[in-house]
Structure 1
């Protein structure tokens, strides 16, 4: 259960790092190179959103924009900091991939359940329609037999019953 809290916490922190880029403390100074902030702290380095702090070498370097992730020669992922000083790239990547996997699995499960429920609903509707059709047919047959009984009673009452169904009515 604590794993879910960690994931939620990292999502909040990742979101906050995006909000932090618009913070009043963050100063985007493209004219000042990140290397000039190497002798400072992580917080000073990360005030510029184009900078990456490497905790192992305590250097502030330009974020390698052309490659999405910094190469190990620039800084190992578990030592790279960007946005917030206490969130490293390795845990961020793992967290985001786990969240993406959970979301994809949840979407697939929802799609499967919806399709399954629709099929079950269609089967129920088909069974209900077949049951109603059977009931209508039974009522129709019952009405037909009652009508035949009444017709036969009327024929007997007026003496119209014939031994031969093809005989003329005058002959009786």
Structure 2
């Protein structure tokens, strides 16, 4: 369905209005006021039946010579029908358009779904298996073991409270590292 209702103003004379006799929409649409002559004020109005389901931001529009002014008709509900009134020259010239607002076509906004979406997609086989967590973290485990041996050796040589405290700190650090590595 067309989304624009063209209205030609001043094409055949001052304040002349040319418009289709009817227009059909299933959603909001634009009224294009195309001025072919001198600047003009155009009045756009929805009758009572149409104003129940649609609205305009403004009704009086100034259209410069040789320009087009777009007026949005916002549709809130459907179906309905009514008249759209266009007047120029302070009502000297008036035209009416029969507007039918229909229910939106469900098919135009819907997404087609076929049965292929219900089948799981196959994942490509991994070219190489991932190394295990132990293999990835082996250098850290070796380094931690060396630190433990070093602390125990220093504790045996120094034989003091500070060496025992250092051994406990290293053991806690190794425990925390093991926890985060296996997580």
Q: Give the structure with the larger strand fraction.
A: 2
Q: TM-score, with normalisation over the residues of structure 1?
A: 0.24
Q: Give the structure with the larger helix fraction.
A: 1
Q: TM-score, with normalisation over the residues of structure 2?
A: 0.23
Q: Which has the higher contact order (CA 8 A, sep 6+)?
A: 2
